[in-house]
Amino acid sequence: MNTALLLIILIPILEIYLFIKIGSQIGAFTTISLIFFTAIIGVFYVRYEGLNTLKSGVSQLYKNQMPLFELMSGAALAVAAILLILPGFATDILGFLIIFPLTRKLIFKLITKKAKDKDEVYIKDDLIEEEFVDKDNENDKKL
């Protein structure tokens, strides 16, 4: 089964389960208030981290360095903001993990390690080299 389809099905099921379990422990009103509270606090903290990432990226550009980590962080912070706006406890936890710089670096390391491992599978030693000659340019010279 496709991973995206599986996530689309399993995430709402997990969120509904957590709503029921947590709501039965702390009450419905408190659960709803907690969802709004985490969304508001999370979005403000994403904004703060986003501005810090932007400042870091500009300083990298001033040093004539490519701000790759900052670009990845900006995209990750956008995903974190979406996760925090979505109602639910599992998405909020994942969103907060992405927001914090330490856990964000760990997540990036895991993703890049998996990508490198996947790329090594596709590298083959069989390489064919050929030369390319443009026939149209040779015909233009003869005219």
Amino acid 115: pLDDT = 72
Amino acid 121: pLDDT = 54
Tokens of 16: 């509904």
Tokens of 125: 């030693």
Angstrom distance (rounded) from CA 101 to CA 45: 12
Return contacts of 103-107, CB within 8 angstroms, 24+ apart. 104/73, 104/76, 107/76
Amino acid 142: pLDDT = 57
Please state whether 130 falls in left (phi above 0), alpha (psi between -120 and 50) or beta: beta
What is the residue extent of each domain of the chain?
Answer: 34-121
Q: How many CA atoms lie within 13 A of 16 on its CB side?
A: 5
Angstrom distance (rounded) from CA 109 to CA 88: 26
Amino acid 69: pLDDT = 87
One pLDDT digit (tens) per residue for the chain, 143 residues? 688 888 889 999 999 999 999 999 999 999 999 999 999 999 999 999 999 999 999 999 999 989 888 999 999 999 999 999 999 999 999 999 999 989 999 988 988 887 777 666 555 555 666 776 666 665 555 55
